[in-house]
Amino acid sequence: MNVKSIEKKGNETTIVVEIDKELMESGVNKAYMNDRKNIMIPGFRKGKAPRKMIESMYGAHVFYEDGLEEVFPEVYKYAVIDQDVKAVGRPNLTDMKIEDDGSVVITLTTEVYPEVTLGEYKGVEVEKAEASVTDEQVAAELDRMAQNVASTETVERAAEMGDTANIDFEGFDNGVPFDGGKGDNFDLKLGSGSFVPGFEEQVVGMAAGDEKDIDITFPEDYHKELAGKAVVFHVKCNKVTATNVPELDDEFAKDVSEFETLEELKSDIRAKALENAQKQIDSAFEQAAVEKAAENTVVDMPKGLIEAELDNQMERFAYQLQMSGYSAEQYAKMMGGDMNTMRNAFRPAAEKQAKINVTLEKIIEVEGITVSDEDVEKEYEAVAAQYSLELEKVKGMVPVEEIQTSLKTRAAVKVIVDNAKAVAPKAE
């Protein structure tokens, strides 16, 4: 092979390479052996026609495109990797010329990894709040714990706020039932706000066996068929259930925790809430610092890097949907669009993350960040412990290069965060 020319223009590089006759012939012959099983020539059994016969009928160069595909890995190594061309994705074949001597001259165009100029990445100023926990937050957690151990009983009285009313209901628009307006044996927690405003308040006062019509006007921002309409719900109360919430005292603390007093339980709730709040603040500070460092980076992003990151984000989201029992196509349709609509919705985030990625890679280079074999081994052990898998199985599943990249990236993030300057948030 012979690289005749390499021309770079912006983020695109054009490579002209000559493939010698012997290498091209080996690829063409492999293509013939693969393709002939699908070719029928009169006088020959399917898959048994000689190559010369096929070429005489379909053209002397009928196997050349497939032949080039056969030798492309070798061509790519020589014309791209060995020439230190940092290609983004697979190059495009833009021209192929077959010479009289049997050699082939091809032209490849490829996006290349961009020139990255770091801006300020050490000392960026980022807002960081002080972690705090209010008495109201502690009280809300205590209430949640009390609700979890609360008991229920059917009561023979009118429903009150906080009770659960089991009801049958049907909605009518000018005397005509409307879609989605009917339910039987529905347990409605009064005061939960789960029904249209005004509905639960009118169920208060009903006892088992009572029936009544409830007048409701739907909000203006309700879905268009019913937005702003005045309707009537016919409601029958089947049962009223009261919830008995325990007193928040020392006995309650003993029942729901390892603590002897309510004050000890409150202190533990506050400490854990403070720890969680600090983790969230630290995480937000890290993300903001990295984003600011990326904003300061000057780079002309290749489309290929953005599309690759977009593919990754779409794939991760599709996996999350799959875990919930949906496909990406179903979700896109539910949201009133299609896959292109959803992809475009992800694009701004992908563009931001792609720029973050190249920024971190440049920091790794500039800072001379490396990882040792010991670091890699510890990371494998951590992953194995996290997912309760055998160490050797994890090593078989996760390439060492992926572990190295992850560790280097984390180290680059740490450089940014450790040098970032925390400033008080601006008053709202």
Can you give the pLDDT of all 428 residues of the chain as single tens digits? 899 999 998 889 999 999 999 999 999 999 998 888 888 788 787 878 888 888 888 888 889 999 999 999 999 999 999 999 999 989 999 999 998 888 999 999 999 999 999 999 999 999 999 999 999 999 999 999 999 999 999 999 999 999 999 999 999 999 999 988 899 999 999 999 888 899 999 999 999 999 999 999 998 888 778 888 899 999 999 999 999 999 999 999 999 999 999 999 999 999 999 999 999 999 999 999 999 999 999 999 999 999 999 999 999 999 999 998 889 998 888 888 899 999 999 999 999 999 999 999 999 999 999 999 999 999 999 999 999 999 999 999 999 999 999 999 999 999 999 999 999 998 77
Closest CA to 190 of 158, 217, 218, 146: 158
| Res 115: pLDDT | 93
Q: What angle do CA 121, 9, 299 make, to 5 degrees?
A: 15
| Res 350: pLDDT | 96
Distance separating alpha carbons of residues 45 and 259, to the nearest angstrom: 86
Q: Where are the chain's structural domains?
A: 2-113, 151-244, 262-423
Closest CA to 424 of 182, 148, 130: 130
| Res 186: pLDDT | 95
Cβ-proximal residues to 278 (8 Å cutoff; 6+ apart), any chain: 131
Question: For the domain 2-113, what is the CATH code?
Answer: 3.30.70.1050
Strand pairing category for 298-299 and 116-117: antiparallel
Which class does domain 262-423 fall in?
mainly alpha
Q: pTM score, two decimals?
A: 0.74
Residue 169: helix, strand or coil by DSSP?
strand
Distance separating alpha carbons of residues 28 and 171, to the nearest angstrom: 73
Counting beta carbons within 10 angstroms of the beta carbon of residue 59, is it exposed (0 to 12), middle (13 to 18) or buried (19 or more)? Answer: exposed
| Res 384: pLDDT | 95
- The architecture that CATH gives domain 151-244 is Roll (3.10)
Q: What angle do CA 371, 85, 312 make, to 5 degrees?
A: 60
